[in-house]
Amino acid sequence: MTRPLEIALLGLGTVGAGVAELLQRHAELLAERAGGPLQLRRVAVRDPDKPRDVDLDPDLLCGDPTLVAADPEIDVLVEVMGGIEPARTLLCEALRRGVHVVTANKELLAKHGAELREAALQGGAGLHCEAAVAGGIPIVKALAESLSGNRVQALYGIVNGTTNFILTRMTQDKVGFAEALKQAQDLGYAEANPAADVDGDDAASKLAILAGLAFGAEFASDDVYRAGIGHLTPTDIQAAADLGHVIKLLAIAKDRDGQVELRVHPTMIPADHPLAAVHGAYNAVFVHGDAVGDLMFYGRGAGRMPTASAVLADIVDAAQDLRRGVSGRIPMPSRRLAVLPMTEVTSRYYLAIQVADQPGVLGAIATVLGRHQVSVASMIQKGRRDAPVDLLFVTHQAVERQLLAALEEVAGLPQVERIAQVIRVEGSEEA
Ligand code: NAP
Ligand code: HSE
């Protein structure tokens, strides 16, 4: 009989418990697919005495991740504990020893991907990370392998389930931000520190990984401009609806003739855009390749079993490589690409400007915008006479640097009370 492959698991939380459960539930199926049995050898947790909702021999649990990762008998190390250290050191050491690694840790990959790849090359080991981006959606494999015949020109992703869940609850059910966030946490979607979700950091890490695969270049999370959803109000969501749009936290990567745009921010998209139909904790990645055209990948982007599904696919890949005696495939960056500064990015914009309702105010604002090459596509006025009113503008394409300069000047006009909101607009024919 074929010897079982020995799996060590770092972490038995939301994702780890799902991995342990699937290893048991699908043991026979996985053995068929992996070319032999998969054996869970040890599991590292912070607190081995904590009650767990997964049926596991307590003797497998260990409070020391170093001991688990350094076990000389393991073939595959699965890291689902999160954070930078000790994960970075343990994974690099394991890879250098030739242990194949599967990780769901986008933060680590986006900060130290080059170091991990280098360690994998040194050890001839595989580095697998399907679960790190978009949970259960097999987008990493699609970009690394299935789309090799394309030059990817643009990628738009809803890659954070927590923020999509919050925005959906705020849009569809008029639930407040705090209540929606609490629900996302209870459902296991949110990161240990939910600010990583809400502020766009989690999506930025995922975009750095996706763009690296799409464009064959090395990007880090710090290369990605990000703005979160914490400043969005029910008024913004209603205004978007009135304009026939919805607001999504989009991760956007575009090839701009040798430079790339990398940005994560709330974005207004038309209500009939395919990404507008992505609700709740679902994720989607919309890819445009020069040969294939438009593609959209859709599925559950977070949560125990969807993420475990991606981890198991990676474990099976690693097992197949081990059985065949080949070192794992590691997509390596082949190009150097500069990231376009955010100030040079071109976009359409939604602007909400609160003003005193006086004759000439509209003209004064339009004059300033025009002087900075910001052209207005549409405008509506909201509010009562004799009270401050909101002027809602949607612009044509404008350069961010020019828009910011215009807004600074607009904010100084005597009739203008405040710039209430600025949201980038994508997805129409102009974008
Ligand atoms: P989690 O529920 O907080 O679980 C973390 C697990 O790791 C826990 O079992 C914890 O032990 C253990 N752990 C943490 N630090 C440790 C340390 N220093 N030593 C030993 N054990 C340690 O996290 P999660 O949601 O499963 O996420 C895990 C990873 O998957 C993260 O990188 C996350 O970004 C990524 N991810 C999560 C999702 C999702 O939907 N949750 C989706 C995709 C990717 P205790 O149980 O004893 O506390
Ligand atoms: N916190 C992440 C999310 C988990 O909400 O998408 C999946 O990576």
DSSP, residue by residue, 162-181 = HHHHHHHHHHHS---HHHHH
pLDDT per residue as tens digits for the range 349-407: 999 999 998 888 999 999 999 999 999 999 998 876 667 889 999 999 999 999 999 99
**For the whole model, what pTM was predicted?**
0.95
What's the chain's length in residues? 431
Q: Which residue is listed with tokens 């990015």?
A: 345
> From the alpha carbon of 188, which atom of ligand 1 is closest?
41
For residues 155 and 187, membership in a common domain is answered with yes
User: Quick one: pLDDT at residue 431?
Assistant: 45
In a domain, residue 156? The reply is yes
User: Quick one: pLDDT at residue 189?
Assistant: 87
User: Quick one: pLDDT at residue 223?
Assistant: 97
- Select from 334, 42, 283 the least CA-distant residue to 160: 283
Q: Which CATH number goes with the domain that contains 22?
A: 3.40.50.720
Is 137 close to ligand 1, i.e. is its CB under 6 Å away? no
Query: Measured between alpha carbons, how far is 55 from 263 in angstroms, rounded to an integer?
Result: 42
Secondary structure (3-state) at 156: strand
Query: Measured between alpha carbons, how far is 62 from 66 in angstroms, rounded to an integer?
Result: 10
Is 371 close to ligand 1, i.e. is its CB under 6 Å away? no
Query: 106, 111, 141, 206: which is the annotated catalytic residue?
Result: 206
For residues 56 and 32, membership in a common domain is answered with yes
For residues 114 and 175, membership in a common domain is answered with no
Q: At what angle do helices 14-25 and 27-34 cross, to 10 degrees?
A: 80
Q: How far is the CA of 131 from the centre of ligand 2 (A)?
A: 10
Query: What kind and span of H or E run contains 309?
Result: helix 304-324
Query: What kind and span of H or E run contains 250?
Result: strand 245-256
In a domain, residue 244? The reply is yes
pLDDT per residue as tens digits for the range 323-350: 999 887 787 787 789 999 999 999 999 9
For residues 110 and 173, membership in a common domain is answered with no
For residues 114 and 250, membership in a common domain is answered with no
Enter the DSSP assignment of 329. Answer: P
In a domain, residue 330? The reply is no
In a domain, residue 329? The reply is no
Is 225 close to ligand 2, i.e. is its CB under 6 Å away? no
Q: Which residue is listed with tokens 């925005």?
A: 167
- In 54-136 the beta strands, taken as DSSP E runs, fall at 61-62, 76-79, 100-103, 127-128
Among 233, 267, 300, residue at a domain's last position:
300
In a domain, residue 335? The reply is no
For residues 129 and 145, membership in a common domain is answered with no
User: Quick one: pLDDT at residue 429?
Assistant: 56
Domain count, the chain: 3
Among 300, 333, 368, residue at a domain's last position:
300
User: Quick one: pLDDT at residue 194?
Assistant: 92
For residues 149 and 112, membership in a common domain is answered with no
Q: Which CATH number goes with the domain that contains 157?
A: 3.30.360.10
In a domain, residue 178? The reply is yes
Which residue's CA is the closest to the ligand 1 atom numbered 34? 105
For residues 126 and 15, membership in a common domain is answered with yes
For residues 198 and 316, membership in a common domain is answered with no
Q: By residue range, what is the domain housing residue 376? A: 342-425
Residues in the chain with pLDDT values less than 70: 1, 384-386, 429-431
For residues 118 and 255, membership in a common domain is answered with no
Is 135 close to ligand 2, i.e. is its CB under 6 Å away? yes
Query: Measured between alpha carbons, how far is 256 from 277 in angstroms, rounded to an integer?
Result: 27
Q: How far is the CA of 190 from the centre of ligand 1 (A)?
A: 11
Q: Which CATH number goes with the domain that contains 406?
A: 3.30.70.260
> From the alpha carbon of 87, which atom of ligand 1 is closest?
18
Q: Quick check: is 206 catalytic?
A: yes
For residues 130 and 165, membership in a common domain is answered with no
For residues 281 and 205, membership in a common domain is answered with yes
In a domain, residue 314? The reply is yes
In a domain, residue 371? The reply is yes
Q: How far is the CA of 271 from the centre of ligand 2 (A)?
A: 24
